[in-house]
């Protein structure tokens, strides 16, 4: 039996993070939307190469292979493409055997507004503005920095590292350190040692991820 959608552990990913769309972005910025749409439609059956988020998304979706009856995790595609140009993206998703069936094509609008509708715990994107918009709206979001992808294609293990202040917990103590220095920080932490931290923006993500370790 599948998990109810309200209980699923949902991560959203932008099309630019999941796949390499550098060439397509260049066409959009240099030649405009019309030429971009023409290019995407003409190449709808040409498979896109993997992007920065691909290894994480692939391993995250593998959780459903471990819990094949419950299928507790889901990835939602949030793309600023139009539905017409999105055909190529879903063709690429199918080619790479990623079990992603839901998505929103916003035709240029920032996708953070769709986060509550899809019960999303984390948005991943290569667009800094979209990430900042999500964080400003009190949603958890992460920015992928351009780098070289190194991943074992046959690997299935998922490892996630977290910062604590401002991520798992709020940044109350961090602010004191930045404003008043290390000594004031130690004094504050000692005074409040028995008080739990307030949750940070990734607290919900962390709780849901730890559930699989319990299993």
In angstroms, rounded to a whole number, what is the distance separating the alpha carbons of residues 108 and 111?
9
Q: What is the pLDDT of residues 100-149, one digit of tens each?
A: 989 888 877 888 899 999 999 999 999 999 999 999 998 999 999 988 87
Q: What is the pLDDT of residues 150-176, one digit of tens each?
A: 888 788 888 888 887 777 788 787 788
Which of the 8 DSSP states describes residue 71? -
- Asked if residue 165 and residue 104 are part of one domain, the reply reads no
On whether residue 155 sits in a domain, the answer given is no
On whether residue 50 sits in a domain, the answer given is yes
pTM of the model: 0.82
Domain that holds residue 141: 5-150
Identify the three-state secondary structure at position 142: strand
In angstroms, rounded to a whole number, what is the distance separating the alpha carbons of residues 29 and 207?
40
Q: Which of 163, 165, 170, 171 is catalytic?
A: 163
Identify the three-state secondary structure at position 153: coil
Q: Which of these three, 150, 172, 201, is where a domain ends?
A: 150
Q: Which of these three, 150, 178, 194, is where a domain ends?
A: 150
In angstroms, rounded to a whole number, what is the distance separating the alpha carbons of residues 13 and 140?
12
- Asked if residue 191 and residue 132 are part of one domain, the reply reads no
Q: What is the percent of the chain with per-residue pLDDT over 90, rounded to a whole number?
A: 34
- Asked if residue 88 and residue 29 are part of one domain, the reply reads yes
- Check: CB of residue 72 under 8 Å from CB of residue 7: yes
Annotated catalytic, 25? no
């Amino acid at each position: 039996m599948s998990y109810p959608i309200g209980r699923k552990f949902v991560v959203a990913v932008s099309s630019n993070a999941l796949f390499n769309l550098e060439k397509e972005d260049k066409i959009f910025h240099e030649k405009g939307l019309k030429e971009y749409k023409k290019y995407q439609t003409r190449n709808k059956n040409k498979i896109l190469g993997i992007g920065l988020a691909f290894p994480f998304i692939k391993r995250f979706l593998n959780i459903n292979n471990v819990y094949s009856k419950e299928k507790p995790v889901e990835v939602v595609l949030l793309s600023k493409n139009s539905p017409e140009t999105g055909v190529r993206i879903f063709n690429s998703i199918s080619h790479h055997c990623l079990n992603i069936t839901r998505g929103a094509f916003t035709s240029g609008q920032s996708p953070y507004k769709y986060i509550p509708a899809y019960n999303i715990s984390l948005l991943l994107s290569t667009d800094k503005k979209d990430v900042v918009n999500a964080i400003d709206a009190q949603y958890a979001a992460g920015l992928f920095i351009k780098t070289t992808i190194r991943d074992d294609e046959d690997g299935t293990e998922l490892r996630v590292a977290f910062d604590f202040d401002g991520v798992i917990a709020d940044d109350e103590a961090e602010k004191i350190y930045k404003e008043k220095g290390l000594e004031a920080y130690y004094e504050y932490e000692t005074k409040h040692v028995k008080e739990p931290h307030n949750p940070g923006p990734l607290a919900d993500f962390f709780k849901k991820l730890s559930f699989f370790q319990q299993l």
